[in-house]
Structure 1
Amino acid sequence: MDSAGTAPTEVSQGPLLSQPQRIINTFFDPVKTFTDLRRGNAWWMAFLFSAIISYVFIFAVASKVGWEQVTENQMKLNPKQAERMEQMPPADRARAMEMGVKFTKYISFAFPVIALLVTAVFAALFMAIFNFGFGAQVGFGTSFAINIYVGLVGSVKALITAITLFAGMDPENFTFDNPIASNLSYFVDVNAHPALHRFAYSMDIFTIWTVVLLGIGYSCVSKVKRGTAIGVVAGLWLLWVLGATALKAF
């Protein structure tokens, strides 16, 4: 593996990696996967794998938590919304809960499609930043493929969550925002310290893993040094974190 301050290695002249090999190497040798994208940016199998895992996760949520419980748990994260619900007449509260349950269910089942659209937006954003800011000359197809393969990290989190649910996780503690204890927010009371909770929530091992992989990916398909690429992605992420934290402070 290249050091943080060096340009990417030369593209191998051997055969292209198969898509299963790329999926595996995303976790164990990401440089190999991302460098291979310079010769071919096929991504459909990685997306299919992620979609299958997402539906395993959704099945676990539906069977072990239930959509009404999920909706209630999500509302508890917003004390003002929960308070408004409590003040509603029973009929209006039941109607609002029914609408919330339907929304949660439909969004969950549509998640792979939504994720694909969000991936396209991020692919275009990073392509523009690296191309115009650093002369990287990364095509949209390659940028999209990088983001699809990096998205496999989220699939690992979803799979671990599904296993935890089947193993007996307390359904009253489950939320889509924060399904497992992979960040520091579990040590902060969301109602007492909403801004600190939001910041701690961002310090998530899977999110940090994603940030690092994105930097590695863009360095491997361009002449941007690895440390620079990771720094760019990390900087954008920190701006997002600080903005989200500031909003919770008011």
Structure 2
Amino acid sequence: METNASPLPSHEGSMGFLSRLLAVYFEPGKAYADLSRKPNWLGMAILLAALALTLVSVSTLRMDPETYMRKALEQNPMSKKLSEEQKRLAIEQSVNNPGRRLIGVIITPVAVVVTYLALAGIFLLLFVISGGIITFKQSLAATVWGMGPPGIIYTLLAGIISVMKDSSDLDLDYRNNLITSLNIVINQKDHPLLHSLLGSMDVFSFWTIFLLAMAFSHMMSSKISTGKAAVGITLLWAIYVAGKVGMSAIFS
């Protein structure tokens, strides 16, 4: 008597967190195909928040309170309206209340998560309008895993620079301690608009756009191609850059 055995269903094993992270750097297509099958985002978000918290602590707490407040006033466009006496009082208050610096450190991981949530919502709207079928969870996973890997490299490099530089030369935003764009050749005070524009054009920005496009294309089963996804994401990035340059024009 002949027996017909039913073939066992084959399930391609999903990657672990570390395997997927390494694959993003070396085999991004494989990594994002795995992400589309299992769109988890929490582990990457926690890692990014922890890295940001650590690096902000290093770059901020290395400064004495007076230096910290002076730099904060220099980088705050609204402080240009303050008189020298008001700035002096603000610095004195900061020196007498060092807990203010800790607030900025503490809210950093929260700000990281909120930023990814907001961007996931924007990307979701973009691709739904473009005809894609995607949920918010999938959009969040693609956002975190598209922006996260370049962010990890950038943060680690910025952290190394933050440790090596003299504390008086550190920027309050640890990301600005690593120069990866052409704005290094432009004086910010003399050409604020051009400095802001060139500051957005660096290899990490373009790498992030590429990975985001791949992540969303795979998440939507390639119903929207990587190229089409890249066009949409680049358009959003251009709007962001234009807004940043516009703010520089307003407060310069």
Global fold match (TM > 0.5): yes
Contact preservation (8 Å) 1:153, 1:206: yes
List per-residue Cα deviations over 1:7-26 (Å, max 9, x = no partner): xxxxx951111122112222
List per-residue Cα deviations over 1:200-247 (Å, max 9, x = no partner): 111132222222211111111121111111111011111221232133
Aligned position for 1:244: 244
Question: Which amino acid in 1 is paired with 2:57?
Answer: F
Aligned position for 2:143: 147
How many residue pairs end up in the alignment? 237
- Structure 1, unaligned runs of 5 or more: 1-11
Aligned position for 1:6: none
Aligned position for 2:19: 21
- RMSD over aligned CA atoms reads 2.6
- Structure 2, unaligned runs of 5 or more: 1-9
> Does residue 72 of the first structure (1) align with residue 70 of the second (2)?
yes
What's the TM-score once normalised by structure 2's chain length? 0.82
Contact preservation (8 Å) 1:50, 1:152: no
2:202 pairs, out of 201, 204, 208, with 204
> 1:67–1:13: structure 2 CA closer, same or farther, 3 Å change rule?
farther
Contact preservation (8 Å) 2:124, 2:135: yes
List per-residue Cα deviations over 1:141-174 (Å, max 9, x = no partner): 1111111222232222121111112223453242
> 1:217–1:101: structure 2 CA closer, same or farther, 3 Å change rule?
farther
* Distance in 2 (alpha carbons) for counterparts of 1:99 and 1:85: 20
Aligned position for 2:44: 46
> 1:210–1:187: structure 2 CA closer, same or farther, 3 Å change rule?
same
Question: Which amino acid in 1 is paired with 2:163?
Answer: F
* Distance in 2 (alpha carbons) for counterparts of 1:92 and 1:239: 35
* Distance in 1 (alpha carbons) for counterparts of 2:41 and 2:96: 36
* Distance in 1 (alpha carbons) for counterparts of 2:97 and 2:148: 27
Aligned position for 1:195: 193
* Distance in 1 (alpha carbons) for counterparts of 2:85 and 2:69: 17
> 1:13–1:224: structure 2 CA closer, same or farther, 3 Å change rule?
farther
Secondary structure class of the residue paired with 2:179? coil
Secondary structure class of the residue paired with 2:176? coil
Question: Which amino acid in 1 is paired with 2:229?
Answer: A
Contact preservation (8 Å) 2:59, 2:167: no
Q: Which has the higher contact order (CA 8 A, sep 6+)?
A: 1
Secondary structure class of the residue paired with 1:203? coil
Contact preservation (8 Å) 2:58, 2:163: yes
Contact preservation (8 Å) 2:57, 2:105: no
* Distance in 1 (alpha carbons) for counterparts of 2:186 and 2:248: 14
> 1:180–1:101: structure 2 CA closer, same or farther, 3 Å change rule?
farther
Contact preservation (8 Å) 1:212, 1:230: yes
1:136 pairs, out of 116, 121, 132, with 132
Deviating runs (4+, > 6 A) in structure 1? none
> Does residue 88 of the first structure (1) align with residue 86 of the second (2)?
yes
Question: Which amino acid in 1 is paired with 2:236?
Answer: L
- Bigger Rg, structure 1 or 2: 2
* Distance in 2 (alpha carbons) for counterparts of 1:37 and 1:99: 49
TM superposition shift of 1:57: 0.9
* Distance in 2 (alpha carbons) for counterparts of 1:159 and 1:58: 12
Contact preservation (8 Å) 2:162, 2:170: no
| Equivalent residues in 2 for 1:1-40, closer than 5 Å | 13-40=11-38
